[in-house]
Amino acid sequence: MKKYSYQFILSKQDQFQNKLDTLSEFVKQYETILKEDNIRPLFSQTHKYDLFPKKRIFKRYINLTKGNNAWVPYIPKTENDKIRKTIKIILNKITERNADLLIKTLICEINKFTNINILDILADEVLDKITYDYSYHNIYIKLCTKISNLNKWHINLASIITDEYNKYYWYKNTSENKNNELYGPFENERETSNNIEKIISFKYNLLDKLQIRFNDRNQYIEESCQEGIDDEIRFKYRRNIFSIIEFIGKMYRKKYLPEKIIHVCILQLLHYKTGKFSSLPREEEIEGFCILWKIIDNKIGAPFQQEYIYQYFKYIKTYILHCPWSKRIKFMLVDLMEKYDKKYLTTMQKYSQPNQIEKESEEEILDKIEDIIYSYKKTPNIDNTVSDLKKYRNHSSFIIETIMYSSIEDIDKSESLIILYNDCQFLGNEHIISYFQNLNLADIDIPNAKENMINLIKKLDQNLTDKLISIVENL
């Protein structure tokens, strides 16, 4: 219904002169229509709206039935669940940009727990993450290194008690703390703490878990070879196999694992037993060996390991290379053997001509400098080591950094390393001064680093000692 203003109606007054005597009568009729419309609206006087639902009650809230697979928020019920949830939340957020910050956050969080089970839970969570986050392997290795060096945290996972004879004992903290195994007796608290550090170690727990998962490859291989298995499930089995092998290789490259573990892995993957053919490896194991070798190749190319390398590849040529493999595995083996023939068969010739250096990548050069210095720590040979380091005089800063870090890390070997530094006259004093000026103690995960550093500086030339000590004390 249209409504008109009085002004509009007055403008049309001439048109109504013949129909209404006065405007007042029109207004009265108009008001009557408005009142009737309020009582009985015009649209209700037709039948075209009869199809509309009448007297329907609309509810604002509808009661829904909860399904069997409905999502519910996870609420930790035990202390172990709480630990696992805390670790998962932080690890799920890690990226290359925030890695350092989240590593510090995780260390702060785990320091709040004193339950020994956190070692197993943390190791399991890290190994679960590396399965698909293979681009973040180096970040997880850095995380494991920092946690392994938390000596005070490891001590907090145990409780020390004394008996009536003032003998010290300790036991591992668990949720129940009932019938726990006692370690001891010890004469004093320091001796007790040293024993705790030897037995409780995140690194040992991680290596145990790593070994278990490496040995689980047999089960994964058998299950992935079953007929009719879904491709996605097969992919998951293969990732469980190869991610552990990749992680082992990268941990070795970062010096987190000793060399003997790599040899054990290679022997098992090749089914190698004292040079004799025991059984034919499976294709997944051959592929795992090829992946592992490509990762550690730059690391184990040093001359003192030539004997092992020769035995491995002789075994491959004799027993494995000519077996009926699939085309893909055959190509991997042939490609690996070609690289071996090109690189290792002429290694001794390369070392017999020290002045001829092939073009190497920056990473290869740094790896070789580290290898030279770590070889010197094992078997000091001052003349050969100085001669080898001279080839890389353009990397003097990194040579000094490696020598100093090795000396601080292993104070017992510092004297021989200082002799090496003094004999490397090409390094120059300006590089070592620059090293200590730019040093950040937070980046050195070594107990008593500052104290070891000052003791180390005192063994240097007297002209440098006073200046360097003042720099270190201000760090």
DSSP state of 176: S
* DSSP per-residue codes, 366-399: HHHHHHHHHHHHHS--HHHHHHHHHTTGGGHHHH
Q: How confident is the model at residue 350, as a pLDDT?
A: 44
Q: Dig out the tokens for 292 from the structure.
A: 């592992």
Q: Is the pLDDT of residue 471 over 60?
A: yes
Closest to 240 measured CA to CA, from 143, 91, 132, 332: 132
Q: Is the pLDDT of residue 280 over 50?
A: yes
What confidence tens digit (pLDDT) does each residue in 228-239 have? 888 888 889 999
CB-based contact 130:140 (threshold 8 Å): yes
What confidence tens digit (pLDDT) does each residue in 171-192 have? 999 876 566 788 989 999 989 9
How far is it, in rounded angstroms, from Cα 260 to Cα 308? Answer: 11
**4's torsion region: left (phi>0), alpha (psi -120 to 50) or beta?**
beta
Phi, psi values for residue 463, rounded to 5° = -65, -25
Report which of residues 111 and 437 the model is more confident about. Answer: 111
Which residue type occupies 400?
Answer: I
Q: What's the mean per-residue pLDDT of the chain?
A: 79
The Cα-based distances of 172 to 84, 197, 204 in angstroms read: 19, 12, 15
Q: How confident is the model at residue 351, as a pLDDT?
A: 39
pTM comes to: 0.59
Q: Is the pLDDT of residue 214 over 90?
A: yes
What confidence tens digit (pLDDT) does each residue in 128-167 have? 999 988 889 999 999 999 999 887 888 889 999 998 889 9
Q: How confident is the model at residue 46, as a pLDDT?
A: 65
Q: Is the pLDDT of residue 475 over 80?
A: no
Query: Domain 244-344, what fold?
Result: 1.25.40
